[in-house]
């Protein structure tokens, strides 16, 4: 009876369960399609992805994510798959990533903002790469007995414009009935285990994959987008921990050193604060030559210090806890009124009405306070958590406003809880100038140091 049971399992597209020890290789399951089919499906679907989503227009971010991916792709198990992997960051705030058959991988900026370290980012990428290595996309299609797929591929190769529509009807597109991105819990478990192998071989501690998935599951809504495409297997963290014990002993100390910069760049990318190709270079502000990146001065106040470009002017009475820093043309002086900030930054403290409040409540109260002075001020995106400054958790909030010159204005608000109240840094830029000011704001925020 045992051979008959195995045959029945194979007909159903499932695998007989043999004894497997942690650390042992995992082989792809039944697949009716060739590897070349995976590549064709992935290339056609990747074209559709690029039509539906906005690709991040930041050379550093794309190069960073490629460096991370290439390190995983260089591991033995990835090389043995025979697939060529590519890595693209999409400008989407959701916490998600996916890899298409044959190797194209797409990472959302929201994922980068939600990971706490580079190993967690690599854990998600290794998990997605494992779906490609194990050919889960066409494996799911094989289970669904989609045996007429060859006709669709012939149409795609011939440039038939309806090929993608045919793929979608067969469950191989990117629509709601897609099979190439919706995996079983068994497939998710396999991707976890193979992903832990890739991480280990690349020099990253695989336990960070388990920690990130555990964090997503605990955070509920934050993990909803990810788990809608990736069902959470039972005992996921324990299974990964058991697999790690079966792997060879290795030193997990590799880091690119660029994770913190990448996370900050991703926040700016979500607000459109990256220069487009052919735009005015970042060495100019409002058409005027900007200060070289190395020419910075330091403002030192009673409670904090911050670096700012030489040529910008800090204004403080020397006793208050705040400062306004702006370029030469950053203030607009109206008759019979105080100067208005058109570009630059304000750093100060805010005391919530009801004393010590949580960061969300305090930030919203601060925005309400700012709104009384500037009625056009509005939220433009949900606040971004997981920002750390000098060891304290902070929040970044994007706002839109009407600037004193009459045009649209983009504001970035950084808030964090300090013993004296809510510290905030409000960076202000006319919308057309944000691509040229964003790197300056990044450096200013990164330079903030507290004296208490």
Query: Which pLDDT score is estimated for 386?
Result: 60
333 with 339: CB under 8 angstroms? Answer: yes
Dihedrals phi, psi of 35, to nearest 5 degrees: -65, -30
Q: Each residue of 318-371: pLDDT tens digit? A: 666 799 999 988 998 877 777 889 999 999 998 887 666 688 888 888 988 888
**What phi and psi, each to the nearest 5 degrees, are found at residue 106?**
-125, 130
Instruction: Provide the whole-model pTM.
Output: 0.58
Which neighbouring-strand residues pair with 105?
Answer: 87, 99
Q: Is the pLDDT of residue 452 over 50?
A: yes
Q: How confident is the model at residue 219 (pLDDT cuts 50, 70, 90)?
A: low
pLDDT(195) > 90: yes
Q: Which of 96-105, 263-272, 308-317 has the lowest mean pLDDT?
A: 263-272
What is the 3 state secondary structure string of the chain?
Answer: CHHHHHHHHHHCCCCCCCCCCCCCCCCCCCCCCCHHHHHHHHHHHHHHHHHHCCECCCHHHHHHHHHHHHHHHCCHHHHHCCCCCEEEEECCCCCCEEECCCCEEEEEHHHHHHCCCHHHHHHHHHHHHHHHHCCHHHHHHHHCCCCCHHHHHHHHHCCCCCHHHHHHHCCCCCCCCCCCCCCCHHHHHHHHHHHHHHHHHHCCCCHHHHHHHHHHHHHCHHHHHHHHHCCCCCCHHHHHHHHHHCCCCCCCCCCCCCHHHHHHHHHHHHCCCCCCCCCCCCCEECCEECCCCCCEEEEECCCEEEEEEECEEEECCCCCCCEEEECCCCEECCCCCCCEECCEEEEEEECCCCCCCCHHHHHHHHHHHHHHHCCCCEECCCCEEEEEECCEEEEEEEEEEECCCCCEEEEEEEEEEECCEEEEEEEEEEHHHHHHHHHHHHHHHHHCEECC
- Residue 441: what pLDDT? 86
34, 153 in Cβ contact below 8 A? no
Q: Name the one residue in this structure whose structure tokens are 């058109």.
A: 342
Q: What is the pLDDT of residue 171?
A: 46
Residue range 163-173, pLDDT digits in tens = 444 445 444 45
Residues with Cβ within 8 Å of 192's Cβ and at least 6 positions away in sequence, in order, are 127, 130, 209, 210, 213, 233, 236, 239, 240, 243
- For residue 311, is pLDDT > 60? yes
Whether the pLDDT of residue 61 is over 70: the answer is: yes
> What pLDDT is recorded for position 216?
80
What pLDDT digit, counting tens, does each position of 285-297 carry? 333 333 444 478 8
Domains, the chain: 2-261 (no CATH), 280-450 (3.40.1000.10)
pLDDT interval class at 235 (50, 70, 90): confident
- How far, CA to CA in Å, does 51 sit from each of 29, 90, 158, 175? 32, 11, 20, 14
Return the pLDDT at 69.
97
| 304-309 vs 449-450, strand pairing mode | antiparallel
Q: Are 230 and 217 in contact (CB under 8 A)?
A: no
The bridge status of strand 408-418 relative to strand 392-402 is antiparallel
């Amino acid at each position: 009876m045992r051979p008959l049971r195995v045959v029945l399992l194979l007909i159903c597209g499932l695998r007989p369960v043999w004894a497997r020890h942690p650390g042992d290789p995992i082989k792809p399951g039944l697949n009716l399609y060739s590897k070349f089919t995976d590549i064709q499906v992935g290339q056609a679907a990747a074209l559709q992805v690029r039509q539906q989503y906005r690709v991040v227009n930041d050379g550093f971010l794309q190069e960073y994510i490629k460096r991370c991916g290439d390190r995983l792709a260089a591991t033995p198990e990835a090389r043995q798959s025979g697939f060529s992997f590519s890595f693209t960051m999409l400008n989407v705030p959701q916490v998600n990533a996916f890899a298409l058959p044959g190797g194209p991988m797409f990472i959302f900026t929201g994922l980068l903002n939600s990971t706490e370290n580079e190993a967690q980012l690599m854990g998600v990428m290794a998990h997605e790469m494992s779906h490609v290595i194990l050919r889960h996309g066409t494996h799911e299609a094989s289970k669904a007995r989609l045996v007429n797929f060859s006709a669709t591929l012939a149409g795609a190769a011939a440039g038939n414009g309806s090929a993608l529509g045919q793929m979608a009807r067969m469950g191989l597109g990117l629509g709601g009935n897609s099979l190439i991105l919706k995996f079983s819990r068994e497939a998710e478990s396999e991707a976890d285990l193979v992903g832990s192998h890739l991480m280990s071989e690349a020099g990253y501690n695989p336990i960070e994959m388990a920690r990130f998935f555990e964090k997503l599951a605990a955070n509920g809504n934050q993990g909803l987008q990810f788990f809608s495409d990736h069902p959470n297997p039972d005992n996921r963290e324990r299974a990964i921990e058991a697999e790690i014990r079966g792997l060879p002993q290795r030193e997990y100390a590799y880091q690119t050193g660029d994770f913190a910069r990448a996370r900050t760049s991703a926040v700016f990318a979500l607000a459109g604060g990256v220069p487009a190709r052919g735009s005015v270079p970042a060495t100019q502000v409002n058409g005027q030559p900007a200060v070289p990146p190395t020419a910075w001065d330091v403002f030192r106040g009673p409670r904090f210090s911050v670096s700012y470009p030489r040529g910008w002017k800090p204004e403080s009475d020397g006793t208050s806890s705040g400062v306004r820093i702006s370029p030469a043309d950053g203030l607009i002086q109206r008759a019979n009124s105080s100067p208005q900030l058109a570009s630059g930054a304000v750093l100060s403290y805010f005391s919530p009405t009801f004393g010590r409040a949580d960061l969300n409540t305090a930030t919203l109260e601060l925005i309400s306070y700012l709104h009384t002075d500037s009625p056009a001020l509005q939220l433009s995106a949900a606040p971004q958590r997981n920002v750390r400054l000098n060891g304290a958790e902070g929040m970044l909030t994007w706002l839109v406003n009407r600037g004193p010159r009459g045009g649209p204005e983009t504001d970035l608000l950084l808030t964090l809880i300090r013993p004296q109240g809510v510290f905030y840094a409000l960076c202000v830029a006319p919308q057309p100038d944000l691509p040229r000011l964003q790197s300056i704001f990044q450096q200013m925020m990164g330079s903030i140091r507290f004296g208490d």
